[in-house]
């Protein structure tokens, strides 16, 4: 009986010890890592989702790698954290955003310069690299009606500047507030509108433009409504707006482990123009089509998948 008691006390100690060991093992094994898969992330808006889906399908079609999708992550910071921690391997980003939001530097310079700067900083600081640009620049776009563009033979913002005293402008709140928004633009091009610009909800800008309530608005270059509403984007010939070239951010370790990815990324490089991205965005937002279908269709049309 004395043995029983001792045994019981010893037994409990073993239970506790074993639990602790098991728990520690579990903890150690939890440290995130994965080997035969590629995880693709995206932010939580249509365009980012589309790019992520394109990457995913291309990799699935052309390699033996399993692809996991971790879409709708809430922004650049979240995506950056995820890729640093190895929870995702690739995600679509914009060079201008990477420069300002992640690298916390002032944006300036031309597209190629910004791309180079971001790429080299990412490689030295984060062990990340950039794939070649997808081919479009989702920067601010000064839009006018297609009619006006054709009638007045306007192509660039410099040309349009002369007509601004006869025009009314509409902008979103953020564009008005940002130092690199309206204020800088007006200075760079010498814009003098008939009246102070109207501040409107972003979603109301396009209809207001169409209905002649305003004559120009600041939107996104790849906005899906641009082709459908017959809007024209004036060229930023003085390069006022910072470049926001869409690129893929990739973990260097993932590239080393799966060299075939490099080919995939370069295959997608330069394949999507501003107009093409507009159409893709419209397919999702305007026509409410399924992202997977739209992506597959696009890849086929480019001859990237059979």
Task: Point out which residues bind other proteins (CB under 8 A).
Answer: 1-2, 4-6, 9, 12, 15-16, 19, 23, 26-27, 29-32, 34, 44, 68, 70-74, 77-82, 84-85, 87
Nearest approach, Cβ of residue 211 and other proteins (Å): 30
Nearest approach, Cβ of residue 87 and other proteins (Å): 5
Nearest approach, Cβ of residue 19 and other proteins (Å): 7
Nearest approach, Cβ of residue 113 and other proteins (Å): 26
Residue 9 tokens read as 């006390």
Cβ proximity of 85 and 73 under 8 Å: no
User: What is each CA distance from 12 to 4, 23, 24, 182, in whole angstroms?
Assistant: 12, 16, 18, 72
Nearest approach, Cβ of residue 281 and other proteins (Å): 17
Nearest CB to other proteins, comparing residues 253 and 263: 253
Nearest approach, Cβ of residue 244 and other proteins (Å): 21
Determine phi and psi for 162, rounding to 5 degrees.
Answer: -65, -30
**How do the residues of the chain divide into helix, strand and coil, expressed in percent and rounded to 5?**
50, 15, 30
Nearest approach, Cβ of residue 11 and other proteins (Å): 10
Nearest CB to other proteins, comparing residues 15 and 177: 15
User: Buried b vs exposed e over 218-252: b needs ≥16 C-beta within 10 Å?
Assistant: bbbbbbbbbeeeebbbbbbeeebbbbbbbbbbbbe
User: What is each CA distance from 42 to 39, 89, 133, in whole angstroms?
Assistant: 10, 11, 16
* SS3 readout for 241-292: CCCCEEEEEEEHHHHHHCCHHHHHHHHHCCCCCHHHHHHHHHHHHCCCCCHH
- The Cα 162–Cα 164 span in angstroms is 6
Nearest to 171 by CA among 148, 149, 191: 191
């Amino acid at each position: 009986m004395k043995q029983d008691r001792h045994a019981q006390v010893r037994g409990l100690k073993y239970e506790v010890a074993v639990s602790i060991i098991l728990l520690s093992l579990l903890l150690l094994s939890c440290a995130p890592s994965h080997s035969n898969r590629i995880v693709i992330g995206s932010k939580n808006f249509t365009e980012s989702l589309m790019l992520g889906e394109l990457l995913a399908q291309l990799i699935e079609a052309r390699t033996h790698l399993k692809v996991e999708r971790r879409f709708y992550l809430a922004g650049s910071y979240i995506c950056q954290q995820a890729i640093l921690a190895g929870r995702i391997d690739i995600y679509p980003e914009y060079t201008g955003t990477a420069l300002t939001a992640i690298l916390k530097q002032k944006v300036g310079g031309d597209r190629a310069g910004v791309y180079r700067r971001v790429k080299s900083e990412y490689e030295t600081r984060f062990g990340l690299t950039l794939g070649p640009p997808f081919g479009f620049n989702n920067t601010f776009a000064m839009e006018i009606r297609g009619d006006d563009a054709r009638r007045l033979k306007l192509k660039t913002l410099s040309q349009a500047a002369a007509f601004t005293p006869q025009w009314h402008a509409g902008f979103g709140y953020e564009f008005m507030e940002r130092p690199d928004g309206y204020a800088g633009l007006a200075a760079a091009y010498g814009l003098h509108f008939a009246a102070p610009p109207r501040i409107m909800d972003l979603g109301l800008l396009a209809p207001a433009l169409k209905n002649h309530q305003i004559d120009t608005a600041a939107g996104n270059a790849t906005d899906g409504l641009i082709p459908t509403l017959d809007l024209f984007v004036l060229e930023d010939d003085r390069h006022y707006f910072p470049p926001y070239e869409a690129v893929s951010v990739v973990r260097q370790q993932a590239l080393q482990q799966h060299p075939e990815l490099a080919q995939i990324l370069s295959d997608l490089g330069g394949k999507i123009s501003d107009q093409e991205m507009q159409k893709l965005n419209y397919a999702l937002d305007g026509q409410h089509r399924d992202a997977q279908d739209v992506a597959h269709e696009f890849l086929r049309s480019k001859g990237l998948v059979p």
